[in-house]
């Protein structure tokens, strides 16, 4: 099964994504996490990407698109969940072209809807577990509140991402996400149009529900 997931930063996209990934045993291909691995490993790609990421801007398409398409080919044979890509119209079209060329299907496209102001507050409360990026912790969401100042899943230390605490950078990221002309919502609607033509299935979820209620609605709609 191959799935794309869209949602603004702060919508719980990562949390829902990791639940779906586990249920269907998919490769979780997360563009932001791949960039962070490169930055952590001090690679050339990481060095180039860092300045854009720190400013809340998109890493240029000529770096991002090949990186994702190569990862899909390398890790995606058994099914994938792609998260954080595509982020704009160019990426959306290039991905669709590549899928056609590789003969890969796209079973579902998931969009988590969340008002911009709600998304911003959630980002500022997000905490990352040093042991596992997929351990959800957020000081503003009761269901995933950390245990004191430790990870609620494993008790590990928690840290914040620098770009999560910078309102200017959050604003820029949301400008890109909520842009329905060329930005991420434009990319999502590109796939919504394809779904209307029967080429994929499009699932819309209200991101203001609890993690469990969103999960149930989502799993009920996936085959
Ligand atoms: P995320 O973890 O998804 O919030 O991504 C963190 C940062 O990585 C973003 O703010 C961008 O700077 C960069 N990034 C992630 N995915 C993409 C993408 N598809 N295209 C360009 N830049 C990206």
Q: Best mutation site among 6, 7, 84 for ligand 1, i.e. most ligand atoms within 8 A of its Cβ? A: 84
- What digits encode the pLDDT tens for the residues 123-178? 899 999 999 988 989 998 888 899 999 999 999 999 998 878 888 888 988 999 99
Q: Is 13 a catalytic residue?
A: yes
Q: Which CATH number fits domain 2-117+206-222: 3.30.413.10, 3.40.50.2300, 3.30.300.30, 3.40.50.300?
A: 3.40.50.300
Distance 57 CA to ligand 1 centre (A): 8
Give me the pLDDT at residue 164, please: 84
Give me the pLDDT at residue 172, please: 87
Give the pLDDT band of residue 59 (cuts 50, 70, 90): very high
Whether 223 has a pLDDT exceeding 80, the answer reads no
Q: What is the mean pLDDT of residues 81-89?
A: 96
Give me the pLDDT at residue 212, please: 87
- Please spell the DSSP secondary structure of 145-212, one letter per residue: --BTTB-TTT--BEE--GGGS-HHHHHHHHHHHT-SSSSHHHHHHHHHHHHHTTSSEEEEEETTS-HH
Cβ < 6 Å from ligand 1: which residues?
Answer: 9, 31-32, 35, 52-53, 56-59, 64, 84-85, 87, 91, 173
Phi and psi at residue 113, to the nearest 5°: -95, 135
Distance 101 CA to ligand 1 centre (A): 25
Which letter does DSSP use for residue 9 in this model?
T
- What digits encode the pLDDT tens for the residues 188-213? 999 999 999 999 999 999 999 888 89
Given the residues 21, 94, 120, 126, select the one marked as catalytic. 126
Atom number of ligand 1 nearest to Cα 163: 10
């Amino acid at each position: 099964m191959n799935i794309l997931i869209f949602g603004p930063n702060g919508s719980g996209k990562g949390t829902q994504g990791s639940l779906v990934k586990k249920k269907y045993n998919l490769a979780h291909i997360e563009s932001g996490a791949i960039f962070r691995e490169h930055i952590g490993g001090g690679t050339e790609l990481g060095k180039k990407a860092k300045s854009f990421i720190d400013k809340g801007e998109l890493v240029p398409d000529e770096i991002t698109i090949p990186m994702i398409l190569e990862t899909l080919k390398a890790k995606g044979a058994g099914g994938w969940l792609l998260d954080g890509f595509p982020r704009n119209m160019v990426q959306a079209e290039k991905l669709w072209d590549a899928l056609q060329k590789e003969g890969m299907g796209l079973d579902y496209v998931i969009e988590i809807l969340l008002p911009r102001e709600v998304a911003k507050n959630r980002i500022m409360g997000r905490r990352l577990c040093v042991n596992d990026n997929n351990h959800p912790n957020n000081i503003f969401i009761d269901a995933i509140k950390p245990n004191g100042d430790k990870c609620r899943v494993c008790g590990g230390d928690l840290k914040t991402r620098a770009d999560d605490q910078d309102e200017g950078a959050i604003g820029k990221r949301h400008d890109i996400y909520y842009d329905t002309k060329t930005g991420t919502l434009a990319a999502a609607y590109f796939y919504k149009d394809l779904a209307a033509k029967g080429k994929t299935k499009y699932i819309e979820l209200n991101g203001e529900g609890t993690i469990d209620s969103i999960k149930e609605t989502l799993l009920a709609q996936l085959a």
